[in-house]
Amino acid sequence: MTEANDNPSPPPPPPDPETTAPPPPPFTPPPAAVASTPTDAPAAQPPPAQTTPLGYQPLGAGGAGPAPYIGPAPTPDDRMMATLAHVLGIFTNFVGPLIIWMVKKEQSPFVDDQGREALNFQLTLLIGYVISGIATVICIGPIIAMGISVVAIIFGIMAAVAANKGEAYRYPLNIRFIK
């Protein structure tokens, strides 16, 4: 006796070539999305920055101001003196940064850079204080002076923290009298 399950089932009929569509081609990413491989040509590297004897980059094409300090790494003493120049600027206006810059400018390029930056900023603020003194005649001088004081404290603290980390800080609103 044979059961229905004993007989092998017939193979499925072959697909009709006229009614079946060919399988889709495999996905290939567009040329812009292809990741570069290590075998590709190396990317063009910018030329190394030339430095001056004190470790500064020359002015850029725009000449918008001094380039960032890239000299030797500052020692802990250099970082402390640069920090002190920025902090003293908050309390003594231009006198503190001037003294530190005059004493240490020959000994450390980092203190020379940061002391000069702090001194220039304090001289810029001094111009603002003079303008606020003149504007006192029309009653807005005290408001201007308070704004300048707030700016001096905020940027002075930011500069001191950066100098303490060994990073050169550039004040955003700074007339560079001493270059």
Strand partners, 69: 56
Tell me how far the alpha carbon of residue 91 is from its chain's centroid: 27
CA distance 35 to 26: 18
Its pTM surpasses 0.85: no
- Give the whole-angstrom CA distance, residue 24 versus residue 150: 67
Note the pLDDT tens digit of each residue in 49-99: 554 444 444 444 444 566 667 778 889 999 999 999 999 999 999 999 999
The full set of domain ranges for the chain reads 76-164
Q: How many CB atoms lie within 10 A of CB 66?
A: 20
Dihedral of the alpha carbons of 73, 176, 91, 104, in degrees to the nearest 10: 40
Q: What per-residue confidence (pLDDT) applies to 61?
A: 40
